[in-house]
Amino acid sequence: AKNPIRVLVTGAAGQIGYAIVSMIARGAMLGPDQPVILHLLDIEPAAEALKGVKMELIDAAFPLLKGVVATTDVVEACQDVNIAVMIGGFPRNEGMERKDVMSKNVSIYKAQASALEKHAAPDCKVLVVANPANTNALILKEFAPSIPEKNITCLTRLDHNRALGQISERLDVHVGNVKNVIIWGNHSSTQYPDVNHATVATCDGEKSVRELVADDHWLKTEFITTVQQRGAAIIKARKLSSALSAASSACDHIRDWVLGTPKGTWVSMGVHSDGSYGVPPGIVYSFPVTCEKGEWSIVQGLKIDEFSRAKLDATAQELIEEKSLAYSCLN
């Protein structure tokens, strides 16, 4: 039997946390034959709720779940973890200044980075979900210098999956037949969902999404804004933010990273820019990536037209501004 993998979930008593723990315990993240030990972290005010989550995990009697550590102590939570899913963060309350939210999250990520640096397994893979996800990931790297840059990523897979979903609805094809959309940039409203290289598997072979949709105007306007604003639409409908889809996409992100992307398919991940596609290094930016043997690499050589170029640059610019705001909060 395989040794259990230790998975840290921060903000584990929150909405996304509650949804993701059962997915992980069922094997949706690391595979149906991989035992796991869950490390659940939350803050003191959520300690009772966290106990309740642990009770439910015990009650669900998951065959793959070999243990649950539920704690409000960040050091205990980070001990020997192989995967860290960082969901806990300070919410954007109405009326709060951007700088105040940033400042709270910078201090949370600074503390958690130090604990991961000292106590996590040396090859720990980190996924940041809490917003501002890209910039939180950058701060985490800053304060966990011994964790390799390649091991710190942020979630844009939900946006990626939303883009697949919109194309599937529009063309009335199953979402599993659509692939290779791209989310470029920030997990924010400046993200650029790009279908220029996306394809659909049909009985006559692979066809380009652009060709099949044939409505360039829709692709350049409504499609993009629907994906960008899907989170807000869900809040309006549910009176709560997306949790099920965020949790499911976080599992997809880690699964593909650890177990590999299918041949000929790429996914979107927020990763440290290496300058590919003219994106400045020094920011965490969402790119198309393929994964093999636990390592991601940015898909190279895709043609970027003028419309896309402007969008790639605008979202990079926003990340540069977020970075300087975050660093100003450090002082």
Q: Which residues are annotated as a binding site for substrate?
A: 92, 98, 131, 162
Q: Does 116 bind ligand NDP (CB under 6 A)?
A: no
Going by the DSSP 8-state scheme, the letter that residue 214 receives in this structure is: -
Q: Does 14 bind ligand NDP (CB under 6 A)?
A: yes
CA distance 86 to 133: 9
| CB of 165 vs ligand NDP, minimal distance in Å | 13
Which residues make up each annotated binding site for NAD(+)? 11-17, 42, 105, 129-131
CA distance 154 to 269: 7
Region near ligand NDP per CB under 6 A, out of 6-14, 75-83, 211-219, 298-306: 6-14
Q: Does 15 bind ligand NDP (CB under 6 A)?
A: yes
Place of tokens 């800053």: 142
Q: Name the residue nearer to ligand NDP (CB basis): 104 or 210.
A: 104
State phi, psi for 91 to the nearest 5 degrees: -70, 150
Q: 17-36: which residues touch ligand NDP (CB under 6 A)?
A: 17
8 A C-beta contact, residue 90 and residue 46: no
User: What is the bridge-based pairing of β-strands 178-179 and 267-272?
Assistant: unpaired
| CB of 33 vs ligand NDP, minimal distance in Å | 29
Distances in Å between the Cα of 216 and the Cα atoms of 37, 163, 269 are 48, 15, 26
For residue 94, the SS3 value is coil
Q: 58-87: which residues touch ligand NDP (CB under 6 A)?
A: 87
Region near ligand NDP per CB under 6 A, out of 117-125, 129-137, 144-152, 268-276: 129-137
Site string for ligand NDP, 216-255 (x = CB under 6 A): ---------------x---------xxx--x---------
Place of tokens 């009985």: 203
CA distance 202 to 194: 20
Q: Does 130 bind ligand NDP (CB under 6 A)?
A: yes
Catalytic option among 39, 119, 160, 187:
187
Helix (H) or strand (E) holding 219: helix 216-220
Quick one: the chain helix, strand, coil %, rounded to 5? 45, 20, 35
174 is catalytic: no
Q: Does 37 bind ligand NDP (CB under 6 A)?
A: no
Q: Does 185 bind ligand NDP (CB under 6 A)?
A: no
| CB of 21 vs ligand NDP, minimal distance in Å | 12
CA distance 135 to 321: 10
Among positions 5, 7, 8, 16, the unique one binding ligand NDP when judged by CB under 6 A? 16
| CB of 58 vs ligand NDP, minimal distance in Å | 19
Q: Does 109 bind ligand NDP (CB under 6 A)?
A: no
| CB of 155 vs ligand NDP, minimal distance in Å | 6
Cβ-closest position to ligand NDP: 14
For residue 324, the SS3 value is helix
CA distance 330 to 99: 11
- Please give the structure tokens belonging to residue 201: 């598997």
| CB of 198 vs ligand NDP, minimal distance in Å | 21
Helices 306-330 and 98-119: crossing angle in degrees, nearest 10, is 80
Q: How far is CA 6 from the centre of its chain?
A: 19
Q: Which residues are catalytic?
A: 187
Q: Which residues bind ligand NDP (CB under 6 A)?
A: 10-11, 13-17, 42-43, 46, 87-92, 108, 129-131, 133, 158, 231, 241-243, 246
